[in-house]
């Protein structure tokens, strides 16, 4: 019997161990997350494990609810220690859940605590971690422990990016962490939202462009893209939910905008065709601008939002009530990519599918849009590729499924690798989790005689996927 989560955790062959040794200490580039840049800029200090660990983590909340724990101990008014005790009582039941591994990797790497968490050990671990926290554990300390080189946050177009500016350099002119904004225009595209008109008023103010029609809206949006570009941004993040492709001309778009801007007074709602036409044309227009600037674009697909409407009404969004959807987005996605390719304006694009049954579909679609139709440009490696297993898929099985699909129908050596997609600083342990799974899978292929034991090439591949590919895509572009 192997020791619980020892130095060879998840590494089942000598080849896997050798490959992991090559990537173990590489820096981390977290190219998509939901961390608060204000906490990073102000180097927040955490006072206890609940504040650091449970306050914003809906992965843990879902598990606690599944264990029959009252909401008062999850998002309610119970004390931080009471909430932690309930989490400790829940986690010992989570055999097979990645939360069990993440929890103990986080305790080991940040708190040097190797005791398995349970109801019996909750008090002991709470006190142990409190001692570490009393020394003043700051965000920068956690980032340093995990060797985090760059963080790409998710930011609204109207964000001033003041915290990104403030963290750019230390007094000695050396970078602390490369904190990069990501342009996330969900509020801009969600024209069906009753608050859209108010949001456009905010956009008009910050861009100093009065929005009243399609042309002025694009001018305001491009103004913010340029602003982000001047603040170290080179990536945008779009949610393609539900998948739509409906073309619309400028006359129709002007009518849609007028209707949306006057909804609060007229009460006239947009039709599904109008909503989809607007979202399609706005995505296309923005993608062309991204390509012009040399940005990358993420397309996140397959989420069904806030399906438990009664609990969402009580607690609000992002409280653990989203799930996988089952939309057929192949046709819409292919049309969007094709239209951008035809106009020679397809940026580097990362396709994220939340439903794992779409792994192969997305990888095959990506394979149709490699190279570059502009003969004067040098073709990019893996210009369109599938993003890493995320959200409900970033467990061992999900990661392996995504890696196998990428390898089966793409070129795995050019994969951009792992990200956290998280609101927790302790989540950087997931990069170690991913690297171990990656090295074990490739090690298995080598051990089975499916690839030669050429360790110079093998180490180049795993180092690329673990770190260097992301560095080239997001830091050197």
Q: Give residue-wise pLDDT tens across range 428-465.
A: 999 999 999 999 999 999 999 999 999 999 999 999 99
Residue-wise pLDDT for 386-436, tens only, equals 999 999 999 999 999 999 999 999 999 999 999 999 999 999 999 999 999
> What per-residue confidence (pLDDT) applies to 243?
78
From 101-110, 173-182, 219-228, 427-436, the region with the lowest mean pLDDT: 173-182
Cis check: omega of the bond before 242, within 30 degrees of 0: yes
Structure tokens at 103: 């929890």
Give dist(CA 420, CA 63) in Å, integer: 19
Task: Among 166-180, 198-212, 223-237, 311-325, name the one with the lowest average pLDDT.
Answer: 166-180
Which H or E element spans position 274? helix 272-293
Mean pLDDT of all residues in 307-324: 93
CA-to-CA separations, 4 to 8, 9, 117, 430, in angstroms, rounded: 10, 8, 12, 17
| pLDDT tens digit sequence for 273-297 | 999 999 999 999 999 999 999 999 9
- Give 392 or 265, the one with higher predicted confidence: 392
pLDDT at 425: 94
Give pLDDT, residue 29: 97
| Coil vs helix vs strand at 386 | strand
- pLDDT recorded at residue 377: 61
83 falls in which pLDDT band (50, 70, 90)?
very high
CA atoms within 13 A on the CB side of 435: 25
CA dist., res. 435 & res. 109, Å (int): 15
308: Cβ contacts below 8 Å, ≥ 6 apart: 321
Give the pLDDT score at 379: 67
Q: How many CB atoms lie within 10 A of CB 24?
A: 14
What's the CA gap between 16 and 10, in Å, rounded?
9
Q: What is the pLDDT of residue 329?
A: 84
pLDDT at 241: 79
pLDDT of residue 170: 47
Q: CA-to-CA distance for 180 and 184, rounded, in angstroms?
A: 13
Query: What phi, psi does 26 have (nearest 5°)?
Result: -70, 150
**pLDDT score, position 174:** 47
Look up residue 188 and give its two tokens: 């801009």
What's residue 477's pLDDT?
Answer: 53
Q: What is the mean pLDDT of the chain?
A: 94
Residues 169-210: pLDDT tens digits? Answer: 444 444 578 999 999 999 999 999 999 999 999 999 999 999
**Around Cβ 435, how many Cβ atoms within 10 Å?**
24
Quick count: other Cβ atoms within 10 Å of Cβ 174?
Answer: 7
d(CA 317, CA 424): 17
Question: What are the tokens at 355?
Answer: 């439903």
pLDDT of 224 over the 90 cut = yes
242 is written with which tokens?
């539900």
pLDDT for 339: 96
Residue with tokens 């004390």: 79
> Residue 374 carries which DSSP code?
-
The shares of helix, strand and coil residues in the chain, as percent rounded to the nearest 5, are 50, 10, 40
In the structure encoding, which two tokens stand for residue 386, read together?
């599938």
Other CB atoms closer than 10 Å to residue 131's CB: what's the count?
Answer: 9
As a whole number of angstroms, the distance between CA 8 and CA 5 comes to: 7
Q: Which two tokens stand for residue 321?
A: 């009530």
Decide: pTM greater than 0.85.
yes
Is pLDDT above 80 for 47? yes
DSSP codes of every residue in 422-448: -S-GGGGHHHHHHHHHHHHHHHHHHHT
296-301 and 28-30: which strand pairing? unpaired
């Amino acid at each position: 019997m192997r020791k619980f989560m020892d130095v060879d955790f998840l590494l089942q062959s000598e080849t896997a161990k050798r490959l992991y040794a090559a990537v173990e200490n590489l820096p981390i580039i977290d190219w998509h997350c939901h961390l608060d840049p204000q906490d990073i800029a102000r180097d927040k200090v955490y006072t206890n494990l609940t504040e650091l660990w449970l306050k914003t983590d809906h992965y843990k909340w879902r598990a606690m609810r599944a264990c029959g724990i009252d909401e008062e101990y999850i998002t309610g008014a119970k004390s931080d220690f009471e909430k932690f005790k309930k989490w400790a009582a829940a986690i010992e039941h989570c055999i097979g859940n990645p939360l069990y591994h993440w929890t103990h990797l986080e305790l080991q790497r940040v708190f040097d605590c190797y005791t398995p968490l349970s109801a019996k050990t909750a008090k002991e671990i709470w006190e142990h971690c409190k001692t570490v926290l009393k020394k003043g554990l700051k965000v920068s300390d956690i980032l340093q422990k995990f060797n985090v080189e760059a963080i790409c946050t998710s930011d609204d177009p109207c964000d001033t990016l003041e915290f990104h500016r403030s963290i750019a350099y230390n007094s000695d002119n050396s970078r602390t962490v490369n904190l990069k904004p990501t342009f996330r225009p969900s509020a801009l595209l969600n024209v069906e939202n009753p608050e859209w008109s108010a949001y456009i008023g905010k956009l008009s103010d910050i861009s100093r462009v009065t929005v009243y029609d399609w042309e002025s809206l694009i001018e305001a949006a491009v103004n913010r893209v340029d602003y982000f570009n001047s603040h170290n941004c080179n990536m945008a993040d779009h949610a393609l939910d539900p998948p739509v492709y409906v073309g619309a001309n400028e006359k129709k778009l002007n009518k849609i905008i007028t209707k949306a801007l006057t909804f609060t007074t007229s009460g006239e709602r947009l039709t599904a065709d109008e909503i989809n036409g607007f979202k399609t044309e706005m995505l296309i227009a923005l993608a062309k601008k991204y390509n012009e600037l040399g940005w990358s674009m993420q397309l996140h697909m397959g989420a069904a939002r806030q399906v438990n409407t009664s609990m969402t009404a009580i607690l609000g969004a992002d409280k653990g009530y989203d799930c996988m959807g089952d939309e057929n987005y192949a046709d819409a996605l292919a049309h969007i990519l094709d239209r951008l390719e035809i106009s020679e304006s397809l940026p580097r694009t990362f396709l994220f599918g939340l439903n794992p049954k779409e792994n192969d579909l997305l990888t095959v679609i990506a394979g149709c849009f490699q190279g570059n139709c502009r003969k004067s440009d040098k073709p990019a490696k893996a210009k369109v590729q599938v993003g890493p297993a995320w959200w409900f898929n970033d467990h061992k099985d999900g990661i392996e499924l995504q890696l196998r699909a990428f390898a089966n129908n793409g070129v795995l050596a050019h994969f951009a690798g792992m990200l956290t997609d998280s609101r927790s600083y302790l989540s950087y342990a997931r990069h170690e989790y991913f690297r171990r799974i990656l090295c074990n899978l490739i090690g298995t292929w080598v051990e089975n005689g499916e690839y030669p034991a050429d360790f110079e090439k093998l180490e180049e591949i795993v180092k690329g996927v673990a770190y260097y590919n992301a560095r080239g895509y997001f830091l050197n572009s």
